[in-house]
Amino acid sequence: MNYANETIELIFMDLEERVAKAVDYMKNEYNLMKAGRANPKLVEKILVDYYGAPTPINQMGNISVPEARLLVISVWDKTAIPKVSKAIQAANIGVTPQDDGVVIRLVFPTLTQERRMALVKDVKKLAEEAKVAVRNCRRDAMDQLKAVKNSKTVSEDLIADYEQEVDKIISKVIENIDKLSKEKEADVLSV
């Protein structure tokens, strides 16, 4: 869409950036949820004190998922395995690491139906928080458009078109949030 001036363009750029951040935050939180499956994202950002420097596990070795409920961490420097195990325990992700001196195994227990329902509630809550953040972005963009309208630098007809464009962007994003939420719910409920 062509914009009447740079101010309008900045309003839309800001809107899209803030909306994308809200959706990305929700996606990251969904990735961190334990749905009874092993997910490398749960451990890859855990920091280990490695030669005096905090180092993420994903930079110290390979993280693989050989089975749905098993995560295997192959640390390149075998002398660092105890440190990695301690860091995982300290991160309190709900799984106790088992190391045999060669690799570290994390076995994720199957979820009870009660725990699955609690996770579904969390999924819905995160989706609703993302929608609220997106609606706040919409409100801010509309306020900025009203300010431009009041300054009379852009015609009222163009402002009305821009307001409709904001509504279209927001409704697409909310549809996407709903879709992501439904997918995560299905993932959590699948046994």
Indicate which CATH number applies to the domain containing 22: 1.10.132.20
pLDDT at 39 over 80: no
The answer to whether the beta carbons of residues 105 and 99 sit under 8 Å apart is yes
**Domain containing 131: what range?**
6-33+112-189
102 and 117 together in one domain: no
Residue 73's nearest CA partner among 35, 43, 45 is 43
pLDDT at 166 over 80: yes
Predicted pLDDT of residue 50? 86
The answer to whether the beta carbons of residues 37 and 66 sit under 8 Å apart is no
| Average pLDDT score over residue span 130-156 | 92
Q: What is the mean pLDDT of the chain?
A: 87
56 C-beta neighbours (distance < 10 Å), count: 14
121 and 136 together in one domain: yes
C-alpha–C-alpha distance, residues 39 and 42, integer Å? 6
Among 41-45, 104-108, 152-156, 185-189, which is the least confidently predicted range? 41-45
Q: Which residues contact 18 (CB under 8 A, 6 or more apart)?
A: 133, 137, 140
Q: What is the pLDDT of residues 77-127, one digit of tens each?
A: 888 888 989 998 888 777 888 888 889 998 887 778 888 888 889 999 999
